[in-house]
Amino acid sequence: MDSNPKWHDWEPEAYLFDFEGTLVNFEWNLSIGVKTVLDRIESIGYSMNLFDSSLSYVDIYKVASVISERDDESTIMNVIDEVFNQFDADALSRWELYKDAKHTLNKLKNNGKPLGLVSNIGSKAIYSAIKKLELNDIFEIVITRDHVRKLKPDPEGLVMAVDSLKIDPDSILFTGDSYDDLGAAKAANIKSCYLSGGQDEINDDGIQPDFIINDLKELII
């Protein structure tokens, strides 16, 4: 695994970023959020046998999407969206840009690099954060949970972003902080860059990134 994409011959033509844990601190309360959404799902009549006890919020979303596709009258996705939006809003109240995040984004954009955002966070919180953090003119494409049927590590969101940018996937770098990000990039045939210190601590047993950085400014060094 290489430590910096700029140290080698390859340089991205465009950059895609995850949001929470990558550009801002990770504040989504995963354990309580998962418990809350499962309790709400059970309260509307769904058996917990449908869900493994170790499911993540991404897994819950995936199972619920299948249920919703099979039953047009199901309200399960409405319940999930309501709960997830609540936890998005809670995290939004504490999000702060990482050091050098804005400088890095501005530098890349000023260098003529198209930038995009692909996040499992919902649109309301993402667009509120973009405004709050003064990132309004940074991203050419923003893909959120509300734009896709399947969340990362499914590549749907990244594929949508690539199609919108109209740039060869081989020329795009996706930076994230979790195995979900790395898995999505691999499935979308996009090079991945892992930012250490976010949601997941990677090890040799999991999906390996193409590059590893400890700080966002390493993207412009």
Residues 87 and 113 in one domain: no
Residue 54, pLDDT > 80, answer no
pLDDT (0 to 100) of residue 1: 45
How far is Cα 105 from Cα 121, in angstroms, rounded to an integer?
Answer: 20
Domain limits for position 50? 30-92
pLDDT (0 to 100) of residue 8: 60
pLDDT (0 to 100) of residue 207: 87
Q: Enter the pTM of the model.
A: 0.93
CATH code of residue 138: 3.40.50.1000
Residues 14 and 51 in one domain: no
Residues 182 and 117 in one domain: yes
Please say whether the beta carbons of 88 and 146 come within 8 A.
no
Paired tokens of 202: 């990677």
Residues 127 and 197 in one domain: yes
Average pLDDT of the residues of the chain: 92
Q: Render pLDDT for 100-157 as a digit per residue (tens, 0 to 9).
A: 999 999 999 999 999 999 999 999 999 999 999 999 999 999 999 999 999 999 999 9
Q: Is 15 helix (H, G, I), strand (E, B) or coil?
A: strand
Q: How much is the average pLDDT of 64-71?
A: 90
How far is Cα 147 from Cα 42, in angstroms, rounded to an integer?
Answer: 26
- Sign of the CA dihedral running 188, 189, 195, 198: positive
Residues 63 and 104 in one domain: no
pLDDT (0 to 100) of residue 9: 74
pLDDT, greater one: 215 or 53: 215
Residues 118 and 205 in one domain: yes
pLDDT, greater one: 205 or 67: 67
Which residues neighbour 54 within 8 Å (Cβ) at sequence distance 6 or greater?
none
From 40, 71, 92, the end of a domain falls on 92
Residues 133 and 146 in one domain: yes
Residues 107 and 205 in one domain: yes
The size of the chain, in residues, is: 221
Q: How much is the average pLDDT of 199-217?
A: 86
Paired tokens of 186: 């691999």
From 59, 92, 125, the end of a domain falls on 92
Instruction: Dump strand ranges (E) for the chain.
Output: 14-17, 115-118, 141-143, 172-176, 191-195, 211-213
* Number of CB atoms found within 10 A of residue 4's CB: 14
- The rounded percent of the chain whose pLDDT value lies above 70 is 96
Residues 13 and 45 in one domain: no
Question: What residue has token string 């949970």?
Answer: 145
| Closest residue by Cα to residue 61 from 137, 157, 132 | 157
Q: How much is the average pLDDT of 213-220?
A: 94
Q: Render pLDDT for 179-207 as a digit per residue (tens, 0 to 9).
A: 999 999 999 999 999 999 878 777 777 78
Residues 123 and 36 in one domain: no
Count of structural domains within the chain: 2
Cα 45 to chain centroid distance, Å, stands at: 30
Residues 140 and 213 in one domain: yes
From 43, 65, 92, the end of a domain falls on 92
Mean pLDDT check: name the lowest of 22-36, 42-56, 119-133.
42-56
- The rounded percent of the chain whose pLDDT value lies above 90 is 81
Residues 116 and 132 in one domain: yes
